[in-house]
Copies of this chain bind each other. A is one copy, B any other.
Amino acid sequence: MSKLLIVGTVAFDAIETPFGKTDKILGGAATYIGLSASHFNVDSAVVSVVGDDFPQKYLDLLTSNNVNIDGIEIVKGGKTFFWSGKYHNDLNTRDTLDTQLNVLADFKPVVPEAYKDSEFVMLGNLHPLVQLSVLEQVEDPKLVVLDTMNFWMDNALEDLMKVIAKVDVITINDEEARQLSGEHSLVKAARKIEKMGPKFVVIKKGEHGALLFHKGQIFFAPALPLEEVFDPTGAGDTFAGGFIGYLARTGDISFENMKSAIIYGSNLASFCVEKFGTERMEVLSEQEMNERLYEFKTLTQFETQLD
């Protein structure tokens, strides 16, 4: 069984969408990544930090989904990272209402001994120096995937470029790809980003799907057209968790297999957005995932009569 090491936030979120609002609920990139990857029967562990205000039941949720939490530091007297946001009517854009870094401000990640030989490493969205510190503690991983966002491009570009240079795959959204590369065309943007280090570039387009680029080859995974998107929070992290989870499960990091990994990521993300926060992911069954995989196939597969 492959080991998958995940670094990212474990947090409180308060979310408002056109369909309702939540109090402080379970959130954080590593939470979504871990829950998503748990569907692939890998030995995964989260490196993160919380305060002692963080409910045991949330930690138990991770453990019960076979996510090891030895690397989650609990700071005595500390408060857990908190994010609050409000989505606009189209659910494609949102305003951040509040960000309280709390214990995250001084976070020094420590990778548990048992996971220093992880073959797969998922660097979830966090300060690039924290991502770099985790990477330096892992011995010779087979595949490192980096997720990041425009905030670090604006505020820590030099550090971000250091970590980008060291990873195999980067996942960012379309606007971030344009910002990072200075190119409007995503084909050109991906080519420039490949030159920064990553051999594979995944560009997430939300409801418009995701693109995988590698040495001039392109694969496109659609998002499943849904009747209703309820809450997009965590969709990108769930996508990343499904992507690396599938790769860790199959142990195959070829371009061909990454196509399927992108589909699995999109598949899991399509469930995530159906309810608030982690609610849907907490009860998602393998059967539901497999049935939806069939929907993804029928959505794009075709045979022509002329060729």
Contact status A302-B260, CB under 8 Å = yes
**Least Cβ–Cβ distance between A53 and chain B, in angstroms:** 37
Interface stretch of the complex, out of A69-77, A132-140, A246-254, A277-285: A246-254
Contact status B225-A260, CB under 8 Å = no
Contact status B222-A222, CB under 8 Å = yes
Decide if A90 is an interface residue (CB 8 Å cutoff). yes
Q: Which positions in A face B, CB cutoff 8 Å?
A: 89-90, 184-188, 205, 208-209, 211, 217-222, 225-229, 246, 249-250, 252, 256-257, 259-260, 263-264, 290, 293-294, 298-307
Kindly state the separation between the CA atoms of A205 and B300 in the bound complex, as whole angstroms.
Answer: 15
Which B residues lie within 8 Å of A217 (CB)? 298
Which B residues lie within 8 Å of A256 (CB)? 303
Q: A220-B222, A299-B219, A300-B219 are in contact. Are A260 and B227 (CB under 8 A)?
A: no
CB-nearest residue of chain B to A213: B225
CB-nearest residue of chain B to A260: B304
CB-nearest residue of chain B to A258: B302
Contact status B260-A305, CB under 8 Å = yes
Contact status A218-B227, CB under 8 Å = no
Kindly state the separation between the CA atoms of A208 and B300 in the bound complex, as whole angstroms.
Answer: 14
Contact status A304-B299, CB under 8 Å = no
